[in-house]
Amino acid sequence: MNSRLFLLLTCLLAPALAFPKTSDSIQSSVSIYILGDLSSERIIAEKRASRDFNSASLTKLMTLYVIFDALEDGTINAQAELKISRTAAAAPGVGMFLNEGDIVKIEDLIKAMVIYGASDATLALVEAVAGTKAQFIATMNQKAKALGLLNSQFTHVAGESAEPQLTSASTLYQLAVAIILNHSSRYSLFKLNQHEWKGITQYSSNSLLGRDPYNDGLIVSTISSEGTIGIISSVRNGRRILLVMGDDSSDGLFASKAQDLINQAFKKFTTIHILDKKIPISQLGVTHGTSEFLDIGSMEKISVTIPRKKKSELEVTIEGIQPLVAPIKYGDVVAKLSVRLKTDTILTSNLVALKEIRQAGIMSRGWRRLKSWLLYSIGFKKNDKPF
């Protein structure tokens, strides 16, 4: 296999495709941010995204992630009702004003937690999902590890009086992506800006929701020592932009800076689709197989986000293994797709066999050799019609 040559197939697409990870086109005075396009799962720009800071948002999002998982696996039902415990009713901080013994629909508890961070609702949900806070926290840490949040160790749930969790913009971005992609059916909750229960209406602190009709989440919170931390998402024409930013500006200026970053992402960058998963993009020739040609493609959808002004500089190439000898299994890596911006390779992805090709029998291989020899002997050319 190592001695095989590689055949280079150059594919110029219209428009050609690529992703440059650069912030040259994004201008902002924001202290910390990471800005990406979830349609391609690419980062557009970032600034001090790995710097640690304190934020309660990480604990809230991780608590919600576990609750959403519990809804998905049937541990709890959004339409079921809960009897509020003494512990939940006594939770400090912002709340629904729940009393011990109140009967409340789980859906209302979740809305109160998402919209304005109701502590009593959160603790009631924690008890319903795991029985105890200790077990719920253990689940948070297990799921954090599974999501790749390796530097996040949770010691409390959202709604408790505790020090904000140490985190970074990159970690918050990663968790927000997991919520949006893994719990898309629940994500619409983040667009709600008010909730009423027993005649009391309370509102979201996320001022970005009303600023732009396309903004639909997630959290804006203020930490006295750090300023404001915002996790904001917006969708236009099928593209979803996600921004995590931290800045010590006033509320109004913070919202203005956040909206400006989102607008720049939509205006200056575009997302282009390369191929769908399991859809052929090209064919490779196969020797000694039951079929002479193999369809190849990707096991995942591939899209790229690029500066709008640089489309003409982009090129896609496919480098396939040659000779490709049967047998070949479905899913075997047989080629590599590369995307270049001028001379710089900016994206690579494996391409795989989209069908199985078995090794041909001795008689079949012998006949193909004989046919090739006969065609060569009579001077058959590639563009001639076969006899």
Least confident window among 8-12, 81-85, 170-174: 8-12
- Residue 289 has a pLDDT of 87
- Residue 6 has a pLDDT of 40
Whether 43 shows a pLDDT value over 80: the answer reads: yes
Mean pLDDT value of segment 359-381: 59
249 neighbors 227 (Cβ within 8 angstroms): yes
pLDDT bin (cut points 50, 70, 90) of residue 311 is confident
Alpha helix (H) ranges present in 212-306?
251-268
- Residue 376 has a pLDDT of 54
pLDDT bin (cut points 50, 70, 90) of residue 47 is very high
Query: CB neighbours of 378 closer than 8 A, spacing ≥ 6?
Result: none
Third-level CATH fold of 5-17+275-377: Peptidoglycan synthesis regulatory factor (PBP3), Domain 2 (2.60.410)
Q: Check residue 1 and report its DSSP letter.
A: -
Task: Give the chain's length.
Answer: 387
Residue 315 in tokens: 């090129």
Among residues 129, 107, 120, 130, the alpha carbon closest in space to that of 186 is found at 107
Least confident window among 142-156, 332-346, 359-373: 359-373
Query: CB neighbours of 341 closer than 8 A, spacing ≥ 6?
Result: 18, 20, 306, 310, 313, 314
Q: Check residue 250 and report its DSSP letter.
A: -
pLDDT bin (cut points 50, 70, 90) of residue 55 is confident
Interatomic CA distance for residues 323 and 204, integer angstroms:
61
Strands 269-275 and 282-287: unpaired
pLDDT digits (tens, 9 = 90+) for 101-114: 999 999 999 999 99
Reply yes or no: is the peptide bond before residue 20 cis, omega within 30 of 0.
no
Residue 312 in tokens: 């003409």
- Identical fold at 5-17+275-377 and 32-247? no
298 neighbors 277 (Cβ within 8 angstroms): yes
- Residue 329 has a pLDDT of 95
Most confident of 126-135, 163-172, 358-367: 126-135
Distances (CA, A) of 243 to 43, 173, 235, 312, 324: 10, 7, 12, 28, 44
pLDDT digits (tens, 9 = 90+) for 241-286: 999 999 999 888 999 999 999 999 999 999 988 899 999 999 999 9
Interatomic CA distance for residues 324 and 83, integer angstroms:
65
In our burial notation (b when 16+ CB lie closer than 10 A, e otherwise), range 1-12 reads eeeeeeeebeee
- Residue 12 has a pLDDT of 37
The label of the residue with tokens 């140490």 reads 166
- pTM for the full model? 0.84
Residue 100 in tokens: 């011990």
Whether 19 shows a pLDDT value over 80: the answer reads: no
**Can you tell me whether residue 35 is helix, strand or coil?**
strand
What class does CATH assign to 32-247?
alpha beta
Residue 284 in tokens: 């490779």
Mean pLDDT value of segment 350-362: 88
Whether 13 shows a pLDDT value over 70: the answer reads: no
- Residue 107 has a pLDDT of 97
| Other beta carbons less than 10 A from residue 274's beta carbon | 21
pLDDT digits (tens, 9 = 90+) for 149-193: 988 999 999 978 667 788 999 999 999 999 999 999 999 999 999
Top pLDDT among 103 and 341 is at 103
- Residue 20 has a pLDDT of 38
Domain coordinates in residue numbering, the chain = 5-17+275-377, 32-247
